[in-house]
Structure 1
Amino acid sequence: MKAICLYFQVHQPFRYRRYRFFDIGNDHYYYDDYANETILRKIADHCYLPANKLMLDLIKKHKGKFKIAFSITGTALEQFELYAPEVLESFQELAKTGQVEFLAETYSHSLVALKSKELFKEQVDKHSDAMERYFGQRPTVFRNTEMVYSDEIGVAVADMGFKAVLTEGAKHVLGWKSPNFLYCNAINPRLKVLMRNFKLSDDISFRFSNQGWSEYPLTTEKFVRWISHDPKDEIINLFMDYETFGEHQAEETGIFRFMEHLPDTVFKQSAFRFATPSEIADDFQPVSAVSVPNTISWADEERDLTAWLGNEMQQEAFDKVYELKDRMAKVDDEALNKDWNYLQVSDHFYYMSTKFFSDGEVHNYFNPYESPYEAFINFMNVFGDFKLRLNTFVPESELEVKLAVLNKALLEKEEKLKKYELEIAQLQTKKKPKKTTTKPKPASTEAKRKK
């Protein structure tokens, strides 16, 4: 029994507007609504809508034999509701087929797993709730932000009740082993581990339209020969961004035609079937444990965390954000909590990357900043204002406690003064004497005679 696991990541961040130093304390709205709507609408038209239509057509055509999986971040779902509700409806149509699995991840596509087990669980629970609310599925398989994984993260995922996790089949982790088998967590063997075949995945997502590539053009027949090369292989994990279709690879490259014909070629020329991650976890047995003592991801050549935490700017911004986690636990203000979630989105740290060489083009994709330094300054300005707002709810020091008490007293006095001024004005209006007009008395008859 052999299976292809086809999984797609769907994510869009809420991008910040140019937030100046002089905005701190004066303007608490941080988002570039125009850019967020424009980019979302563009990707919806080029990718989400046509790709979802294609996937739905393939599911109907192959009558239960074609299956796929998605993870959709909470920030992407919120943008669909704001700017493209028809995209959300098209994903819901896919969910109704019963051939699509929706995976869990962090709600705001954050790197919180590196900082707090409690906050990590809170975000995952929030995302699982959203998957159940929108698509009628409670996820049983987890995919962390950017496939960030380690043995310890795997244990936390297993403790949350998930039966499997997706991650990168990094060379320095697998060594001589192949990603084309099912593995399990080295500490908790109950957690199954599906490892991405990065070569075959990247052949589609990155190299498909590269005319300088020695294998160009990529046909479905050629691709199926590749996946069938080793008869010992059991699973081919093709994990990629959904924006591969129509955005990273434009429609003119033939990427939609490739996807349209891939299932037919797989069924006719190979022994593979399509399966969802949960089906693979149920139907296959792990061949061994995979040890990942150091955290990995699916980003860049290094497959590590340097895309987000590779320089001092990124590390400082990241650490500053999570210094607030204990204080934020005491806040029940809806607006502040929403901004707190958006502050954690990993894209903000990705924009600060100084990796301009082999992976520079990838890092510039939809980057709203001209330089990583500008990204850092803008983020820290937003953070500075956010922290001021937090101080009004949960003061950081004894001095700020006293200032908060005084500020609250002043605000209460101002409210009382306004109330008293209004009452005085109303009383003055009531007591003000009415103006009366008196007619002049007519002159007497005697007075008239004297005249």
Structure 2
Amino acid sequence: MRTICFYFQVHQPFRLKPYRFFDIGEDHHYWDDYLNRNVIRKVAQKCYLPMNALLLELIHKYNGKFKVAFSLSGTFLDQMEAYAPEVLESFQKLVATGHVELLNETYTHALAALKSKEEFTSLVKKHQDRIKELFNGYTPKVFRNTELIYSDQIGAMVAELGYEAVLTEGAKHILGWKSPNYVYSNAIEPKLKVLLKNFLLSDDIAFRFSNKTWADYPLTTDKFINWINAIPKEEQVVNLFMDYETFGEHQWAETGIFEFMRYLPEAVLNHSSFTFSTPSEVAAAVPAVSKIHVPVPISWADEERDLTAWLGNDLQDEAFDRLYEMEKSVKQIDDPEIQRDWGYLQTSDHFYYMCTKFFSDGSVHEYFSPYDTPYDAFINYMNVLSDFMLRVKQKTEEMKCP
């Protein structure tokens, strides 16, 4: 079996509105509804609707031989329902074909796996329920953690929840001389298959496609087919993992990205020995060649492929620690607004905006951030968190009163 596995991350955070020190204790609505709606509507028109229509066309054209997988974060699903129901409907049509796989993740695209097993499990189960509710009882078999963050211990937690496989980055410092084009297994729970992103081929599409200074520009389907045909015959799986917003948002339609995807299935099926498979099909059909040891968490972000996109500097660590100090108190509070805000405040993007890296990784962080500087992101988040702490304290005290 030689197969290509396409997986797309689909996520949008609830961005915070500008929240001043003087708002603390006075204003309990934290979310920039106007900005969030505008972002969703813009990306829906540029990416979600045209790309979903293209994928549906390709699935029908090739009678199911072309297939893909998505993870749809809970914050994305909530915003689709509120601001772009036609996008949600288009995803439902794709899943109804039977040739699109959905994965589970933490509901709010959180970093909980790094801090609290209890909260991690709670967010995963909430996402399970939401997928089942919106997609006609659909039950995912494969898991992908926020931003492909993975370690041996996280994999063990995923296995404990009953998943067959997990997706993560084919990081060079983990693989060494090994290839990402095999299926591996978790070092603690070998029954859990581990699918690794082929970051070179994935990033050729996601990041380098429109880069005119790239030596291989322009990327054509013929060129791509030559590259995958050159992969050694014993290497069975090419995992192409990327943000869904690659299509139309990060790489504009004018770059030819949609045409590239339109003609890629035909080129693969007619001019290579590869097929297309979903992650669960890969996990079921391809045996693991060995365990993959990941003692320290990895991710698919930045050059380091570690956690420094979200954690590691003083701003990020302070915000992260203060947030999770409230976990036990929040879990005792039966208030839907408190629970909603608690979940949305865990979204990894808030910590991503506080990253102080420079050079190329810094520019990527700036591209995604609604703030002028990481320090602005930190101050705004901590103002919101201060108000949230007051609300949690007040609710806790009210519960103590007879």
TM-score by length of 2: 0.98
1:375 aligns with 2:345: no
| 1:57-136 pair list within 5 angstroms | 57-136=57-136
- The one-letter code sitting in structure 2 at the alignment partner of 1:297 is S
Matching residue of 1:245? 247
User: What CA distance in whole angstroms lies between the structure 2 residues aligned with 1:382 and 1:348?
Assistant: 11
Matching residue of 2:223? 222
TM-align CA RMSD: 1.1
- The one-letter code sitting in structure 2 at the alignment partner of 1:354 is T
SS of match in other structure, 1:365: helix
User: What CA distance in whole angstroms lies between the structure 2 residues aligned with 1:118 and 1:272?
Assistant: 41
1:309 aligns with 2:338: no
Matching residue of 2:175? 174
SS of match in other structure, 2:360: coil
User: What CA distance in whole angstroms lies between the structure 1 residues aligned with 2:243 and 2:225?
Assistant: 21
2:349 to 323, 328, 347: 347
SS of match in other structure, 1:75: helix
SS of match in other structure, 2:194: strand
SS of match in other structure, 1:167: strand
Matching residue of 1:287? 289
User: What CA distance in whole angstroms lies between the structure 2 residues aligned with 1:321 and 1:255?
Assistant: 40
User: What CA distance in whole angstroms lies between the structure 1 residues aligned with 2:38 and 2:118?
Assistant: 35
Unaligned runs of 5+ in 2: none
User: What CA distance in whole angstroms lies between the structure 2 residues aligned with 1:248 and 1:64?
Assistant: 27
Matching residue of 1:275? 277
Matching residue of 1:145? 146
User: What CA distance in whole angstroms lies between the structure 2 residues aligned with 1:272 and 1:135?
Assistant: 29
SS of match in other structure, 2:367: coil
Matching residue of 1:417? none
| 1:428-443 pair list within 5 angstroms | none
Shift of 1:269: 1.0
Matching residue of 1:430? none
Shift of 1:268: 1.1
Matching residue of 2:263? 261
Matching residue of 1:440? none
Which protein has the larger Cα radius of gyration, Structure 1 or Structure 2? 1
Structure with the greater relative contact order (CA < 8 A, sep ≥ 6): 1 or 2?
2
Matching residue of 1:203? 204
1:385 to 383, 387, 390: 387
Shift of 1:329: 1.1
SS of match in other structure, 1:76: helix
- The one-letter code sitting in structure 2 at the alignment partner of 1:132 is K
Shift of 1:328: 0.9
User: What CA distance in whole angstroms lies between the structure 1 residues aligned with 2:259 and 2:213?
Assistant: 21
SS of match in other structure, 1:121: helix
1:321 aligns with 2:327: no
Shift of 1:365: 2.2
- The one-letter code sitting in structure 2 at the alignment partner of 1:274 is F
Shift of 1:133: 1.1
What does the per-residue CA deviation read over 1:347-401, in whole Å, with 9 as the maximum and x for residues that have no partner?
0000000012121221012311000000000000000000000011114xxxx99
User: What CA distance in whole angstroms lies between the structure 1 residues aligned with 2:266 and 2:7?
Assistant: 18
Matching residue of 2:10? 10
Matching residue of 1:186? 187
SS of match in other structure, 2:131: helix
Mean CA deviation greater in 219-228 or 173-182: 219-228
Shift of 1:74: 0.4
- The one-letter code sitting in structure 2 at the alignment partner of 1:183 is Y
What does the per-residue CA deviation read over 1:250-300, in whole Å, with 9 as the maximum and x for residues that have no partner?
000000000000000001111100000000000000011000000000000
User: What CA distance in whole angstroms lies between the structure 2 residues aligned with 1:135 and 1:260?
Assistant: 26
What does the per-residue CA deviation read over 1:383-438, in whole Å, with 9 as the maximum and x for residues that have no partner?
0000000011114xxxx99xx85xx9xxxxxxxxxxxxxxxxxxxxxxxxxxxxxx
| 1:26-65 pair list within 5 angstroms | 26-65=26-65
Shift of 1:135: 1.4
User: What CA distance in whole angstroms lies between the structure 2 residues aligned with 1:356 and 1:172?
Assistant: 22
1:337 aligns with 2:326: no
- The one-letter code sitting in structure 1 at the alignment partner of 2:69 is A
Alignment: residue pair count? 400
Q: Indicate the percent of aligned positions where both proteins have the same amino acid.
A: 61
User: What CA distance in whole angstroms lies between the structure 2 residues aligned with 1:98 and 1:131?
Assistant: 15
- The one-letter code sitting in structure 1 at the alignment partner of 2:161 is M
SS of match in other structure, 1:31: coil
What does the per-residue CA deviation read over 1:114-148, in whole Å, with 9 as the maximum and x for residues that have no partner?
01111111100100111111113111100000000
What does the per-residue CA deviation read over 1:62-121, in whole Å, with 9 as the maximum and x for residues that have no partner?
001001000000000010011100000000000110000000000000000001111111
| 1:402-417 pair list within 5 angstroms | none
User: What CA distance in whole angstroms lies between the structure 2 residues aligned with 1:221 and 1:135?
Assistant: 36
Matching residue of 1:24? 24
- The one-letter code sitting in structure 2 at the alignment partner of 1:154 is G
User: What CA distance in whole angstroms lies between the structure 2 residues aligned with 1:310 and 1:350?
Assistant: 11
Matching residue of 1:443? none
- The one-letter code sitting in structure 1 at the alignment partner of 2:187 is A
Shift of 1:227: 1.2
User: What CA distance in whole angstroms lies between the structure 2 residues aligned with 1:332 and 1:4?
Assistant: 46
- The one-letter code sitting in structure 1 at the alignment partner of 2:85 is P
User: What CA distance in whole angstroms lies between the structure 2 residues aligned with 1:366 and 1:234?
Assistant: 35
User: What CA distance in whole angstroms lies between the structure 1 residues aligned with 2:80 and 2:225?
Assistant: 34
SS of match in other structure, 1:37: helix
What does the per-residue CA deviation read over 1:197-242, in whole Å, with 9 as the maximum and x for residues that have no partner?
0000000000000000000000011101111212221000000000
